[in-house]
Amino acid sequence: MNVGIAGIGFMGMIHYLSYQKQRGAKVVALCEQDKTRLAGDWTSIKGNFGPRGEMMDLSGIAKYERLEDMISDPKVDLIDICLPPAGHASTAIKALKAGKHVFCEKPIALTSADAKKMVATAEESGRLLFIGHVLPFFPAYAFIHKMATSKKYGRLLSGNFKRITADPQWLKHYYDPNVIGGPLLDLHIHDAHFIRLLFGMPNAVFTTGRMKGEVVEFFNSLFLFDDPSVSVTATSGAIRQQGRSFTSGFEVHFEKATAIYDFNVIADRAETSLPLAILTNDGKAQRPELGSGDPLDGFSAEIAEVTRCVKAGKPSSILSGDLARDAVVLCNKQTESAKKARLVKV
Ligand SMILES: NC(=O)c1ccc[n+]([C@@H]2O[C@H](COP(=O)([O-])OP(=O)(O)OC[C@H]3O[C@@H](n4cnc5c(N)ncnc54)[C@H](O)[C@@H]3O)[C@@H](O)[C@H]2O)c1
């Protein structure tokens, strides 16, 4: 699978590094508007995990400044979109129409209408569309996804999910609904997608929260399902203090087990405050062995799934455009609910 990566920022770099470890996939082209990065100087790239950017030897890789030129490169089979969210829909639609498969970072798009157009274009063109919802490939989340699909611990009953960032002051357009979309579309969308994957599509949402301009800054959401006994909640958003730059976690209840997990970055130190524990009906707690804890392993597993699916000519049940579109629909309904201060049907 010959890959062309669009956008060499934090995620473009993480994807590039993950492809280097992937058999059956090769980066043959890059597109970036910043000439310094395109020439291989990635030292200005920095994210909230993983390595800092370095000087790269990009010889043998085609380099483009314009997206259209990379999309029309006949050597490229798959366009991997790591652009800011505002560029996802137009680039993906052009690439699909040009006969390329597309792997696009989350969120699929900023609006439900654009997300629907992307899914429809993939269907019409017969090409595969994958959206980079990496969370189900992170070991603690992968473990409970497996618990749910195997039915080993019975039916899913309820869940509470948390994902909070300190105000990312270095991201200029974070709260702009037309560029990044704020904490709901940037951050909570990971949990919205995971909730959709585990529990199915909610039929209504109720969100209360603080607004910052047009987007929700911090919120609590309740997700309602056809089965009224299924109870799912989520807390997410940005806090103003920098002392805890990030936290995520969950408590998920099955008929015969409860899964609990909590991760924090406090004063720049990452701590898995509560490694995944599975509490079972016999009163015991299992602590599954979950590997190195390196977040890059999740991206490698995600890219392995894309490579496998392209080889087999089949969509992914986890990275599908449909699920990613549903996650955007949910996030936008949650914003509507917070603005109207009432329950909103999905
Ligand atoms: N899965 C995750 O955990 C995760 C983490 C971070 C970011 N992301 C997602 O990845 C995507 C990119 O985020 P990022 O943090 O890497 O952004 P970034 O700003 O670091 O990088 C974007 C890059 O795209 C380039 N670019 C923008 N428009 C372009 C154009 N028209 N042509 C060529 N190059 C162009 C920019 O110059 C920049 O280098 C976003 O959708 C974000 O939500 C996902």
pTM here is 0.97
Residue identified by tokens 């800011």 is 84
**Centre of ligand 1 from the C-alpha of residue 79, in Å:** 14
Indicate if ligand 1 lies below 6 Å from the C-beta of 32.
Answer: yes
Indicate if ligand 1 lies below 6 Å from the C-beta of 8.
Answer: yes
Domains of the chain (ranges plus CATH)?
2-133 (3.40.50.720), 135-300+327-345 (3.30.360.10)
**Centre of ligand 1 from the C-alpha of residue 135, in Å:** 18
Digits of tens for pLDDT over the chain (346 positions)? 999 999 999 999 999 999 999 999 999 999 999 999 999 999 999 877 778 899 999 999 999 999 999 999 999 999 999 999 999 999 999 999 999 999 999 999 999 999 999 999 999 999 999 999 999 999 999 999 999 999 999 999 999 999 999 999 888 899 999 999 999 999 999 999 999 999 999 999 999 999 999 999 999 999 999 999 999 999 999 999 999 999 999 999 999 999 999 999 998 888 999 999 999 999 999 999 998 878 889 999 999 999 999 999 999 999 999 999 999 999 999 999 999 999 999 9
Say if residue 295 is preceded by a cis peptide, omega within 30 of 0.
Answer: no
> What does the alpha-carbon distance between residue 117 and residue 129 come to, in Å, rounded to a whole number?
12
Q: Mutate which of 105, 176, 178, 328 to test ligand 1's pocket (most atoms within 8 Å of Cβ)?
A: 105
Nearest CA to ligand 1 atom 40: 84
